[in-house]
Structure 1
Amino acid sequence: MSLILLRSTASRDSSRTRLLTGCLVGILVLIAVLILPGRAFAHAALVATDPADGAVLTQSPAQFSLTFSEPVSPLVLTLVRPDGSRLALTSFRLNDQTVEIDNPETLKSGTHVLSWRVVSADGHPVGGSALFSIGAPSAAPTAGEAVDWTLRAAIWAARLFFYAGLFLGVGGAFALAWLAGDGRRGQCFVAAALLLGLVAAPVSLGLQGLDGLGATLAWFPSPTVWKTAVETSFVWTVLIGLIALGVALLSLAGPAGLRKLSASGALLGVGAALAVSGHASAAEPQWLTRPLVFLHGTAIAFWAGSLAPLGLALRREPAEAKAFLRRFSRAILPVVIVLAASGLVLAIIQVQEPAALINTSYGRLLLLKLALLLFLFTLAAVNRWTLTAPAQAGDTEVQRRLVRSIGIEVVIVLAIFGVAAGWRFTPPPRALAIAAAQPVSIHIHTLEAMADLSITPGHAGEVAASMVIMTGDFGPLDAKQVTLVLSKPDSGIEPIKRPARKPGDGTWRVDNLVIPLPGRWNARLDILVSDFEMVKIEAPLDIRAQ
């Protein structure tokens, strides 16, 4: 009879394991589905190029420029000639949010591609290209790069294992030092998580370098890859994380007197590692977001790290685990409050408006994370207020139920880590809004006159136009009247004509201008130089979608 019961119990445990594994796999597949439709973006977004994308120039430019929504550091800058040959652009200057690039040669006729790859302040690389032609357009040379899904999967997996080391490993070491008393159940699990994190951290850094250069996994050992990696802000996350993981590992084997101190320092290191780079920590105002990320990460490590040691202690040594359970039950409520409050504020800063939860990959991943958190909080509440007291009283059946529930919590936590790792490939709506609000500018130059035209914001909708008018040799031009004419004949839209006013600051302005569609428009300025002379200058203008 006992053999039958053992087989029945084993069968149920096996079924639960398969069910939990299936749920985790399903969640990971859902994460992939949510991020597949979008491209790999980072915080920085390209606002303008000079020459403008698609521009046709009469002569070779002396330099190029790339303007982003925030300051960046160039990783790779390349000019692809019409014949497909490549020229590395190594001479550049950083001017606030603009990368000014020297052109080392006189370009021949035909279509060229300016290819760029930069890293933004949060440590995430992003790349792209712009086409322009000298004289007349020709067949565009190939400069695009396909998404390396193998590399992207490796980046995601390494980030997931790094998180597991930080949260389950360091948090577990803290729980063993402060909550478990003399119990050491779960120490092997915690040590394994820490070792996993120690391996995943440098691997993540190397993959960051590969992603920055747009290289394949075969280039992983290359010194150039690692040099690129250490030039990003993510290197500080890895360094601090390695220190935290190492100190936590020492706390497991160190003397009892230093165990609590080492584990506390390691736990604080988790929060610091997350606060020095990443989407949330790079958001403004950083005096608020960085401390919130620190608190959020520390709270996650405390809660998630305590689960496995607590569950193993309840399963193997239920009598000795009562004190562990009591201490955890007392401490977890304020920790969850800090976790939820900091996460809510960070989410509001990143998302900004409810529609972004549906319209962006970042928002959809956030909704998935919130759904998992709701499930986790509900399960934790049931454990806290329904199962904890009977388990402490020695009810063995309730203790078994609590162990199973804690196991489910661990699976949910791993799924949440997987969602967080997926954010590596999505831009927060906050960054998209910053990029959308940036102006689009063009320079129009003819022998008779020239102008700098800026449309703010540079997307379809209500905008304002600002113009600086000069003579063809950069001298002042006291125009009597300036009219802005926007046309898009391929969309069947009649030209939009608006007279500009002169506010007295040396510019001409058109306010409350509505551009109905994104895409390439033709911008023309009709400049009345005198009662008998009208100068018309024009150039293409790319308007972004909202």
Structure 2
Amino acid sequence: MTAAVRRRPVAGADRRRVARLGAAAGLLVTLVALLLAPATPASAHAVLVSSSPAASAVVPSAPAEVVITFSEGVRKVPDKVRVIAPDGSRADRGEPTFKGAVVTIPVDPSGARGTYLVSYRVISADSHPVSGAFTYSVGAPSTPPTDTGTDTRANPVVGNAVKVAKYLGYAGLLLLVGPALVLAALWPRRLSRRGPARLAWSGLGLLAVATLAEMWLQVPYTNGGGLFDVSGSGFGDVLNSTYGTAHLVRLGLLAAAAFLLRPLFAGPVGRTDGLILAILGGAALFTWPLAGHPAASPAPAVSVVVDAVHLGSMAVWLGGLVMLAVFLLRRADERELDAILPIWSRWAALAVAALLLAGTVQGLIEVATPKALVDTTYGRLLLAKIVLFALVVVVAAYSRSLVRRRTAAGRPGLMRRAVLAELAITAVVLGLSATLVQTTPARTASADVAGAPAGYFSTTLSSPIYSLQVELDPAETGSNSLHLYAYTKDNRPQPVQEWKATAALPSAGIEPITIPLLPLTDNHAFGEISLPAAGQWQLRFTVRTSDIDQATVTATVPVK
């Protein structure tokens, strides 16, 4: 009997030693993933801000390259940056060059006259694909071609699958954190730990599966393919990205934590193991913001920390509510609930306060302006989340009042219904959160993505003897540049003998103002004009092509 008593501590020590060795192995995997991580600068969700040639511009001769510039640095998606000639063939020659925010596409300088299509799909620093297209014309506009060889649009099935995977990841996180926290600090010794342990293992497995699913789905999500359009090279690109590294680190930390969770689920653990678990959990929380919008915000250090606090507070609060609803309010007696509920109430209040503070800071960074809050999808989703969260806080305040009045322990059914109401509403909040992390932040969604300067005006005017391409930049009050290009009816450069142009704003009583024009080539003229007021300006152009042939065309230009 004495020998048996002596063997137990040894066995317990052996189990702790094995658990710590397993945790060390998981941390080693994490360290390797960090060492192999690519060194990339933080950047915002990229948007196209300019191009050369400009969108809708008409240039006299074919360029040797097309340059597109984004708001921040971007990465390549293989064969998704293309230039299509007027006849539908590929006009780009060789691979595009990526240098930070600038993408240079070599094109055939002897290309035919007409309209060219530039289509692109690139990956911004927050792991989201950015796609779009614009046209420019050589000599004169023609019917725009279509790109039949590739599709820059996202596959809707993949997009929805990514949201589901992220939702399951959030659910797995709270199902893991809640049982681990309650078993470590609040669980009555007389109650079996089997049920909470099973719930926690389910949460751990769900979180691991969701993490692997997110890595798999990132390949077709960025490339624009279907669910199973995953190649070895595509998966390798994901693993070599910051997004892939963050997910590998998360898996390593989960593996390390798994070895220490087993003794916790069997019985109380020492302070050292509890501290190591807390460190592993805190480190894992940072893998979410490092793989999403926060790492690419204007203040990445602040955004990453705030998002990790937001996520951790959510896991503590909702995970604890699940433990209350499923186990404690059913199994604990009144004396135990009298001891547990006041402590939990304080924890919940702190978690909610952290959620409110972190959410406010996060919202200010990601939304940036009050206008973006109502004018963008991200802003409207955030407003819906705020309304639902306010409703949850009201229910939580009711639960807290039950605890303060000492009603909850004596009437656990009443408390349980309030907790279930909180969980039902927050399930919807989690769904909104999973959608938000896949939505372009309001700070960039409100930016101009047309590939031309804000307010840039371009149109083609027709007369019986010529067509006139008109470009006004920036079409705002103050100084503006005017470019005019004349073409024959069969889209060839039309030599011009005399140019005349005026601008008037009848609604403000401004009579026609003569615009001085400087001929740059036979068919191209340039002028500068200062527009003193906003409104619908009437531009009038008279072009004389011979001693006797001339025609006048007009355009209405909205000026801001």
Match of 1:346 in 2: 362
How many angstroms apart in 2 are the aligned matches of 1:348 and 1:431?
Answer: 13
Q: Which string of whole-angstrom CA distances, capped at 9 and with x for unpartnered residues, describes residues 516-540 of structure 1?
A: 579xx9999xxxxxxxxxxxxxxxx
How many angstroms apart in 1 are the aligned matches of 2:513 and 2:249?
Answer: 56
Return the match for 1:156 from 160, 163, 166: 163
Return the offset for 1:130: 1.7
- Is the deviation greater in 346-355 or in 363-372? 346-355
Return the match for 1:51 from 46, 49, 53: 53
Distance 1:186 1:454, change over 3 A: farther
- Is the deviation greater in 87-96 or in 152-161? 87-96
1:223 and 2:232 aligned? yes
TM-score normalised by the chain length of structure 2 = 0.68
How many angstroms apart in 2 are the aligned matches of 1:239 and 1:495?
Answer: 66
Q: How does 1:234-273 map to 2 (within 5 A)?
A: 234-254=243-263, 256-257=269-270, 259-273=273-287
Q: Which runs of 4+ in 1 moved over 6 A?
A: 436-439, 483-488, 493-500, 508-513, 521-524, 543-546
Return the offset for 1:69: 1.7
SS in 1 for 2:286: helix
Match of 1:295 in 2: 309
Return the match for 2:111 from 104, 107, 110: 107
How many angstroms apart in 2 are the aligned matches of 1:202 and 1:148?
Answer: 19
1:379–1:409 Cα contact (<8 Å) kept:
yes
Return the match for 1:284 from 298, 303, 316: 298
Letter in 1 for 2:116: H
Return the offset for 1:175: 3.6
Q: Which string of whole-angstrom CA distances, capped at 9 and with x for unpartnered residues, describes residues 96-115 of structure 1?
A: 53222223674334432211
Match of 2:347 in 1: 331
How many angstroms apart in 1 are the aligned matches of 2:446 and 2:558?
Answer: 12
How many angstroms apart in 2 are the aligned matches of 1:544 and 1:118?
Answer: 33
Match of 2:8 in 1: none
Match of 2:441 in 1: 428
Letter in 2 for 1:207: L
- Is the deviation greater in 299-308 or in 79-88? 79-88
2:289–2:295 Cα contact (<8 Å) kept:
yes
1:281–1:293 Cα contact (<8 Å) kept:
no
Match of 1:189 in 2: 199
- Is the deviation greater in 100-109 or in 297-306? 100-109
Letter in 2 for 1:158: A
Return the offset for 1:331: 2.1
Match of 2:184 in 1: 177
How many angstroms apart in 2 are the aligned matches of 1:523 and 1:199?
Answer: 65
1:411 and 2:424 aligned? yes
Return the match for 1:371 from 353, 362, 387: 387
SS in 1 for 2:72: coil
Return the offset for 1:361: 1.0
How many angstroms apart in 2 are the aligned matches of 1:167 and 1:215?
Answer: 32
Aligned-pair Cα RMSD in Å: 4.1
1:236–1:276 Cα contact (<8 Å) kept:
no
2:376–2:445 Cα contact (<8 Å) kept:
no
Q: Which has the larger radius of gyration?
A: 2
How many angstroms apart in 2 are the aligned matches of 1:111 and 1:134?
Answer: 6
Return the offset for 1:463: 6.5
1:401 and 2:411 aligned? no
SS in 1 for 2:137: strand
Return the offset for 1:309: 1.7
How many angstroms apart in 1 are the aligned matches of 2:339 and 2:94?
Answer: 63
How many angstroms apart in 1 are the aligned matches of 2:136 and 2:402?
Answer: 67
Letter in 1 for 2:300: Q
Q: Which string of whole-angstrom CA distances, capped at 9 and with x for unpartnered residues, describes residues 448-489 of structure 1?
A: xxxxx996xx6x65566589xxxxxxxxxxxxxxx998899x
SS in 1 for 2:406: helix
Return the match for 1:63 from 54, 62, 65: 65
SS in 1 for 2:209: helix
How many angstroms apart in 1 are the aligned matches of 2:350 and 2:397?
Answer: 13
SS in 1 for 2:370: coil
Q: Which string of whole-angstrom CA distances, capped at 9 and with x for unpartnered residues, describes residues 35-88 of structure 1?
A: xxxxxxx92111111122223333331111111122222323122233434467
Number of aligned residue pairs: give it. 445
How many angstroms apart in 2 are the aligned matches of 1:213 and 1:495?
Answer: 52
1:233 and 2:242 aligned? yes
Q: Which string of whole-angstrom CA distances, capped at 9 and with x for unpartnered residues, describes residues 403-444 of structure 1?
A: 2222222222221111011124432221245558998299xx
1:318 and 2:332 aligned? yes
TM-score normalised by the chain length of structure 1 = 0.70
1:487–1:522 Cα contact (<8 Å) kept:
yes
How many angstroms apart in 1 are the aligned matches of 2:501 and 2:98?
Answer: 32
Distance 1:369 1:268, change over 3 A: same
Match of 1:533 in 2: none
How many angstroms apart in 1 are the aligned matches of 2:446 and 2:131?
Answer: 19
1:463–1:515 Cα contact (<8 Å) kept:
no
Q: Which string of whole-angstrom CA distances, capped at 9 and with x for unpartnered residues, describes residues 314-370 of structure 1?
A: 243122555443432222222222221111122122223333332211111011101
Return the match for 1:440 from 453, 458, 465: 453
How many angstroms apart in 1 are the aligned matches of 2:515 and 2:239?
Answer: 51
How many angstroms apart in 1 are the aligned matches of 2:251 and 2:375?
Answer: 37
How many angstroms apart in 2 are the aligned matches of 1:436 and 1:496?
Answer: 32
How many angstroms apart in 2 are the aligned matches of 1:171 and 1:510?
Answer: 67
Return the offset for 1:374: 0.6
SS in 1 for 2:69: strand
Match of 1:98 in 2: 102
1:356–1:429 Cα contact (<8 Å) kept:
yes
Distance 1:266 1:69, change over 3 A: same
Q: How many percent identity over aligned positions?
A: 28
SS in 2 for 1:390: coil
Match of 1:10 in 2: none
2:91–2:111 Cα contact (<8 Å) kept:
no
